[in-house]
Amino acid sequence: MVKIGILGLGTVGTGTVQILLDPVGRHHLLQSVEIRRVGVRSIDKPRAVDLPSELVTTDLDAIVCDPEIEIVVEVMGGIEPARSLILKAIEHGKHIVTANKALIAKFGDEIFTAANQAGVYVMLEAAVGGGIPVIQPLKQSLGVNRIGRVTGIINGTTNYILTRMTVEGGEFADILADAQKLGYAEADPTADIDGLDAGDKIAILASLAFGGRIKRDDVYCEGIRKIGAVDIAYADKLNFVIKLLAIAERVEGGAVSVRVHPTFVPRDRPLATVNGVYNAILVEGDPLGEVMLFGPGAGAGATASAVVSDILAIVGVRQCHISREEAIESPHNALHPLLSCNHTEYSQMAPLSSLRSSFYVRFLCLDVPGVIGKLGTSFGEHHVSIESIVQTGFQGDRAEIVVVTHDVSEADFDSALAEIGSLEAIDSIPSIIRVL
Ligand code: HSE
């Protein structure tokens, strides 16, 4: 078992504990992770997760010094005491998993230097893009590319406000106030709307993309306070949408530019379609071209998914100090568990006939009375409910009828079509396409 200590039991901490306490059906390595201690500010606060009381403590220092604990998960946020606790944990030889973008953006130099000296990992998948895997892809799968630019919509609050301004035509201050009422914006929204949160995140992405540390003060940050309904309307007229983009790019001469500012984005670009609280990161690399990563940029479950993915990565690496000869001879073939195939059984497959789908079907038929009635009767007798049916015109002397069904059983749909296909009035069924 790998024992972990968690600092913080707020939204992300709770989501993390929930995943770890319910490992079945997830990566098998999670079953070898044990929560040894969870550090909180107040013991008596009601919690959404059922933890044995002896695991919960207010003594955060004891967690980072605990000789049994191998991984410290910092999900408390803020600069202090998170920074001091992480440094102390590193000093005690613990690997770190953190979701703390502000801390890493500002003190990454100090923390990674200490970690390298101590021979431990600091993992931060949850710091950028919530549940979207972006740190690990930049480090690994995309790492073979020369990255030219990373462009992100990496602040959900501002994207939510700008999306509503675009859809409703409202003013910034009114929509911000409403977003605060609905819980989509913080009571103090400064870090989000002034682009500082996105600035922290793009500093981290830039560092990974370009292989050099980034001083947070060198990141230009301009927020969305000054965007008016009239700017949104002009953008629309000119075929653009306004997005708060975080951009990291290599410019001529090899230097790097890292910045956050509202931007007119052509409506046909992929980033223009990212709406509401969603995040997306577009990576442009050579020779790959463009890859866009899209998903939920915040929230308990999504962010916890990223936190636990880092725990999993460390557990996997930790198990893998083994030579090829040892791996071959070990009873369960102990290759790296995150790189090797861990499955031996075939998956149980659901037959197509057991699924439910909605269908578009196009019929060519004789233009005689009662055909639509016969189609309706056959579908109905086979429990296929019709959403719409239209006679759209003619192909030669054949009438063309288009049917869209509700979600129906594939087996029922097949038997209905077999019967309909044999009707005298039906000439052919040229198209059957599933509807999402
Ligand atoms: N405050 C952030 C946002 C979520 O609005 O996207 C946490 O990183």
Contact 231/238 with Cβ under 8 angstroms? no
Selecting among 94, 101, 106, 201, the annotated active-site residue is 201
135-296 folds as Dihydrodipicolinate Reductase; domain 2 (3.30.360)
Mean pLDDT, residues 310-332 taken together: 78
Environment class of 256 (CB within 10 Å of its CB; exposed 0-12, middle 13-18, buried 19+): middle
Q: Does ligand 1 come within 6 angstroms of the Cβ of 156?
A: yes
Distance of CA 279 from the midpoint of ligand 1 (Å)? 9
In one-letter notation, the amino acid at residue 334 is A
Q: Does ligand 1 come within 6 angstroms of the Cβ of 200?
A: no
Radius of gyration (Cα) for the chain, nearest Å? 28
In one-letter notation, the amino acid at residue 58 is T
Among residues of the chain, what percentage have pLDDT more than 90?
A: 90
Amino acid 322: pLDDT: 64
DSSP 280-324: EEEEEEETTEEEEEEEE-SSHHHHHHHHHHHHHHHHHHHT----H
pLDDT in tens, 235-291: 999 999 999 999 999 999 999 999 999 999 999 999 999 999 999 999 999 999 999
Amino acid 332: pLDDT: 60
Mean pLDDT, residues 14-20 taken together: 97
Amino acid 336: pLDDT: 75
pLDDT in tens, 340-355: 777 778 989 999 999 9
Distance of CA 193 to the CA centre of its chain: 21
DSSP 24-79: TTS-GGGGGEEEEEEE-S-TTS--SS---GGGEES-HHHHHH-TT--EEEE-S-SS
61-78 CB burial, b ≥16 within 10 A, e <16 = eebbebeebbbbbbbbbe
**pTM as predicted:** 0.89
Distance of CA 395 from the midpoint of ligand 1 (Å)? 55
- Known active-site residue 201: yes
Which residues sit opposite 294 in a β-bridge?
A: 280
What's 436's DSSP letter?
-
CATH code that applies to domain 355-435: 3.30.70.260
For residue 60, pLDDT over 80 is answered with: yes
- Domain segments of the chain as ranges: 2-131+299-334, 135-296, 355-435
Distance of CA 307 from the midpoint of ligand 1 (Å)? 15
Longest dimension (CA), the chain: 85
Mean pLDDT, residues 101-110 taken together: 97
Q: Does ligand 1 come within 6 angstroms of the Cβ of 155?
A: yes
Domains 135-296 and 355-435 share a fold: no
pLDDT in tens, 113-160: 999 999 999 999 999 999 999 999 999 999 999 999 999 999 999 999
Mean pLDDT, residues 380-384 taken together: 98
Q: Does ligand 1 come within 6 angstroms of the Cβ of 157?
A: yes
Q: Does ligand 1 come within 6 angstroms of the Cβ of 197?
A: yes
CATH number for domain 2-131+299-334, candidates 3.40.50.720, 3.20.20.140, 3.40.50.150, 3.40.50.1820 = 3.40.50.720
